[in-house]
Amino acid sequence: MASPTRRSAPSSASTRTIEPFPMTSSRVHGGWRSPCVALVLGLAWQPPASARSPASPALEKQYQQVLAQCRNDPRYRVGGAMTGECVEQETLRRDLLIDAALQRIAASHCPAVAAGLAEAQRHWQRYRSAQCGLFQAMFDNTAMYLNGTACALRATLAREADVRMLVDYAPGSAAPCQVGDVPAPVPEATAQPEQRG
């Protein structure tokens, strides 16, 4: 395999020289001994909200309002981690609202629909836990804790919108239930991680 090359600035339009790019340069290896450090630092310093693509402007507005309330609440001004606890409490409050809405939908439909709703909610909760838990798994400090709680809040706001859509677009009356009406099992996408005790 040929070594990577770098083109030098041409001395004239017709002549170009190619010199090898030194792979052991201090610019490449001297400052960052581990690519892992660069990855963690890159994830810890999030771009401004305007640079991220929110799920929707309405969800981004809700998210920013909750964060502002938590930052400005005098009960949570002790430190950054306290803001995370406020965000966690708001996420839990919204989880209860989602569960109540799903129970109302399930109560007015066949057992198959109720079972499907419960299964979808379990899958969503596992996804949110796994996805947002990655922040603290990468580096367990206050900044990553805050990123994890913010991730869970964003996911919960999006889930709340999805459940609201189920409520808003549900038919006026439920379809008649079939005898033995049970939902088809949903295949697992990945194997379950081992439980350590």
pLDDT digits (tens, 9 = 90+) for 35-87: 433 333 344 444 444 334 446 888 899 999 998 898 888 887 766 678 889 99
pLDDT digits (tens, 9 = 90+) for 80-121: 678 889 999 999 999 999 999 999 999 888 898 899 999 999
> What CA–CA distance (Å, rounded) separates 113 from 183?
7
Nearest to 155 by CA among 188, 186, 133: 133
The pair of structure tokens assigned to 99 is 């569960």
> What CA–CA distance (Å, rounded) separates 73 from 89?
13
CA-CA distances (angstroms) from residue 62 to 57, 152, 178?
A: 9, 14, 40
pLDDT digits (tens, 9 = 90+) for 125-150: 999 999 999 998 888 888 899 999 99
Q: Residue 106 — left, alpha, or beta (φ > 0 → left; ψ -120 to 50 → alpha)?
A: alpha
Q: Which string of b and e fits 69-103 if b means at least 16 CB within 10 Å?
A: ebeeeeebeeeeebbbbbbbebbeebbeebeebbe
Taking the model in full, what pTM does it have?
0.61
The pair of structure tokens assigned to 141 is 């400090």
Q: Kindly list the domain boundaries of the chain, sorted by start residue.
A: 57-170
Using CB atoms within 10 A of its CB, is residue 152 exposed (0-12), middle (13-18) or buried (19+)?
buried
